[in-house]
Structure 1
């Protein structure tokens, strides 16, 4: 117990520290440079310290309509999160029992993880262009007359994001239900619970932290998505797409402020999800302790 650490430990520790710095160093640099003073530039050293570029960004600053882009991405992320949770949970419950074609359906559902994102985006865009042509040529006059395109944030854009988030949600829910103890359900049925009561009062409370994790996956993957949005989003860009477009035109720390703001939203959602999971686990532990004492 009194022996010192070997030199290999320090070499490996230094290598790990360098690896972490390599991963997070660029992000930390952007965070720092976003707090430049009004006369600051895009490189070190800092020229003052202020929130000038965040204020300019939020008030428009002449580069993008940050408010609309932010709200658009936020609304899309929330819808994707809700649909990812509902569809993943439903699929997880359905796949607990074997049915004809289940293996094929599973592989089709996760195939989009293998296909390059830009190919998926192009395919969705092509599908909606074909849909536009069909409606204009064969659709009712009241619909075809003023139709420009069916592509949009909550049509083709929503579908593109779900091809990215759903496979992750499915895999998480499959893993959870593979470890779920069916005896809890049997006990509920023995006590006279209906299937809906069993789902609501037994299954969901047990798997709720995992459901929150699936929702976290859905929101953060949608919030940061660019490749699958590039061809499928329609006339309005999401916030990450605006950020990518600005990297070649903006020459002020305003671009860093935008990057810091978008990353801050992701961190806030992650922190909120972790806090909710901690509360749920503490509540479950408290109820378990009370039940044990009873």
Structure 2
């Protein structure tokens, strides 16, 4: 098929998807594909769910959009009330966005706004991890530690800092930027915070289980509680990127639930 879509794949051209049901997608030639990943990890309940499509259609017919600076809506309030009890937070508040990259960038802005409201205007430094993925918008890409994605845009990046990946499988290998011991990883984060000027680090951001870059890499035992303690001690906000691990994908409502950690912000 030719057209005016600037696609991600060009040679060969991608097949044309025409319909989907459950975990199967069919192309224009009738060929079936097993969608084992739920698209970009976004179709967890399967394709073609009539019950969901009916609700979406009814809402679009009744009220398709209301600007958040002027209105709330019944559906938004109902959603927040339903999901709130499952969040690993005390008295949580929700800020709906459109996707993962936007969620991460909003979390960063919230962290900055929090410190400004407390009179800590010098807290702007954000620390992420190597071998992480937080999105493809510019801020989320800068936070990400995936070198192949960063390389073409290095001239635009460099605002954020990075510590080692929590990846025992590759720990210590040349070029891996990975460590495998929870205490060692926590000590490294502590040193990175101390190395910055006092009161300048705003947040530490990490995926509970790395998904897109390291393919379901579980951190060593004790990692998340140790990291949380370092952040609390230095007044640094802990941001959990649950875009891939949230809503039951790891067997718990959220990835951090496996370690009993309560982040300050959850994306």
TM normalised by structure 1 equals: 0.28
TM normalised by structure 2 equals: 0.30
Name the structure where helix makes up a greater proportion of residues: 1
Which protein, 1 or 2, shows the higher relative CO under an 8 Å CA cutoff with sep ≥ 6? 1
